A = this chain, B = another copy of it.
Amino acid sequence: MAHITAGVEYALHCLLWLVDSPGAPLSSRDLADFQGISPSFLAKVFPKLEKAGIVASSEGVRGGYRLAKRPEAISVLAVVDAIEGEKPLFDCQEIRGRCAAFGGRPPAWATKGVCAIHAVMLRAEKAMRDSLESQTLADIAGTLERKMPPEFSEEVRRWVEERTEARIRGKA
């Protein structure tokens, strides 16, 4: 199990599609089907992004999600925190106070402030978070656009169209 889970990977990949589709909102089902991931699981991910103010939702038929901010204003850290809930890199058990030499009542000097080991972990966590905060959705989208051939956007548009038509056909 990794610290940054699959939910974040799903979320970021979805957000990238939202960057390229500033018009009509996209439904979480379509986003899931389009990327070959679990629709039910993605449906649990998006409300977290909405609560964090990263996406805005519209209910009802033809509803779905769109970005609530400009891509440059959405850092990767914000997405990670939205999904993971600011869980710490390291969970200190405060063993320092349990030393047998204290006999149950640890002196003040032993438990005052943050344990030196814990402090090292907090510095490492901050380094990680600073790195994540320095990258925005726009940065990633830019990198990807340089890899993608220009005609691919057109292919994607066609796929979405076909899916909409398929729904109408299924109805008839």
Contact = CB atoms under 8 A, between A and B. Distances in A.
The contact size tier of chain A is 35 or more
A57 to B, nearest CB: 22
Going nearest first, the 8 A-B pairs with the smallest beta carbon separation are A36-B98, A3-B3, A2-B91, A127-B131, A128-B128, A124-B131, A4-B90, A116-B143
Interface string A72-113: 000010000000000111111101101111000000011010
23 contacts: A1-B91, A2-B88, A3-B3, A3-B89, A4-B89, A4-B121, A8-B90, A9-B90, A9-B93, A9-B117, A13-B95, A13-B117, A33-B100, A36-B99, A101-B155, A109-B149, A110-B147, A116-B144, A116-B147, A120-B135, A124-B128, A124-B132, A127-B131
